Amino acid sequence: MRASLTKRIVTAGFRGFYRNKTVSLSSIFILTITLSIITAFYLFHAVFTYTLDQIREKVDVRVYFTVDATDEQVSDVKSKLLGLSQVKSVTYTSATQALADFKVKHAGDQLTLQALDELAANPFGASLSVVAKDTSQYESIANQLATGSGLLGDAAGAVDKINYYQLKDSIDKLNNIIGWTNTVGFWLSILFILMSCMIVYNTIRLAIFVYRDEIAVMKLVGASNMFIRGPFVVESVLYALIATAITLALFYPGTIWVTKKTVIFFEGMNINQYFVDHFFELGGMLLLAGIVLTVISSLLAVRKYLKI
């Protein structure tokens, strides 16, 4: 009996979907726009996260050593830094490499290079570039490197300076920007979700308005609420399936075009490759969002005519 009822509900849902093509097409069109907004926001969030990660990778704190610091002292400080939970990576630059980098940077400044050549010894010491797991943790790292903290131990005398305090204002500004953008992104997400719900709900409510007389007749002849609701739920799932397929089909060539225009600007991020790599994840999310939006909207819209 239950299988027969389910079959009748599914059949009625498909029949209603094909019978009212104008209503179905308009619902699919609105839902496709809604899912396209969600997809665009999903890709924008990926680009934004990638860009922030690139910025974070370029922000570091350098520990400069005196010219007479030994390799053992530098190695000791590096191992202690790597032992800190806030530290993501530590890169070593030798005194020789520091001198070579300086010459490359000032290749057009002959006076500076001439003065450097007149020095009897390399004026540069080794250095360590410290990258934190989060930009908000640089202050904690700098405090642990400060004299008297006990972290450096016997190697404290080999440290010439730490450039965190010269970069503090820039790092603080970056932290503020990241915090602000995360907050704005959160509220924009909430706004898009609410707008999507309202648009889909109103569209499906208008679609079901066409069936109001039919629903009234079904109620009069004793049809159950489940039997009345069922076909609309089936139609909602069909809307979600088709709208999801259309959205993905539109965005695939769209991401190819965007990638060609932005791959250099975003420092190598391939949006199309990201779309392909996350295709099933994105498709599942869109389908789930579409089904939830349409089914809930259908149930709420039908409720008015069931007089429950």
Strand partners of residue 177: none
In this structure, are residues 159 and 64 in contact, taking their beta carbons and an 8 Å threshold?
yes
Q: Give the separation between CA 124 and CA 66, rounded to whole angstroms.
A: 8
* pLDDT above 70: residue 186: yes
Res 17 pLDDT > 90:
no
Its domain, for residue 149, covers 60-167
**One domain, residues 187 and 280:** yes
How many other CB atoms are there within 10 angstroms of residue 281's CB atom? 10
Q: Is the pLDDT of residue 53 over 50?
A: yes
> pTM value?
0.68
Q: Provide the H-helix boundaries in 20-135.
A: 21-58, 71-82, 95-105, 110-117
Say yes or no to pLDDT of 216 above 90: no
The mean pLDDT value for 98-121 works out to 76
pLDDT (tens digit per residue) in 60-81:
788 888 888 888 888 888 888 8
Residues 188, 266: one domain?
A: yes
User: What pLDDT was estimated at residue 197?
Assistant: 73
Query: Are residues 9 and 132 located together in one domain of the fold?
Result: no
- Percentage with pLDDT > 90 across the chain: 8
Last residue of a domain, one of 142, 167, 192: 167
Query: Do 183 and 263 fall into the same domain?
Result: yes
215 and 183 inside one domain = yes
Beta carbons within 8 Å of 96's beta carbon, 6+ residues apart: 122
Residue 62 near residue 129, CB atoms below 8 Å: yes
Residue 307 pLDDT exceeds 70: no
Question: In this predicted structure, what is the pLDDT of residue 280?
Answer: 93
pLDDT band at 308 (very low <50, low <70, confident <90, very high): very low
Name the nearest CA neighbour of 267 among 88, 50, 104.
Answer: 50
* Residues near 87 by beta carbon (within 8 Å), at least 6 away in sequence: 81, 130, 131, 132, 133, 141
What integer is the mean pLDDT of 191-199?
A: 75
Same domain? 66 vs 47 = no
Residue where a domain stops, chosen among 138, 167, 196: 167
Helix 279-306 and helix 164-209, axial crossing angle in degrees, nearest 10:
40
Q: Is the pLDDT of residue 109 over 80?
A: no
Higher pLDDT, 195 or 287: 287
Indicate if 20 and 132 belong to the same structural domain. no
Which comes out higher in pLDDT, residue 38 or 59?
38
Helices (H), 210-224: 212-220
Confidence at residue 200, expressed as pLDDT on a 0 to 100 scale: 72
**247-289 pLDDT, tens per residue?**
999 999 988 888 887 766 666 678 888 899 999 999 999 999 8
13 CB-near residues (< 8 Å, 6+ apart): 230, 231, 232, 233, 234, 235, 237, 238
Give the separation between CA 204 and CA 26, rounded to whole angstroms: 9
Whole-number Å distance between alpha carbons of 143 and 47: 33
Same domain, 193 and 45: yes
- Sequence-distant (6+) residues with CB within 8 A of 211 are 16, 232, 305
d(CA 187, CA 181): 10
The count of structural domains within the chain is: 2
Nearest to 17 by CA among 223, 230, 201, 202: 230
Give the pLDDT band of residue 107 (cuts 50, 70, 90).
confident
Q: Which pLDDT value is given to residue 22?
A: 78
pLDDT score of 263:
65
Separation between Cα atoms, residue 269 and residue 43, nearest integer Å: 12
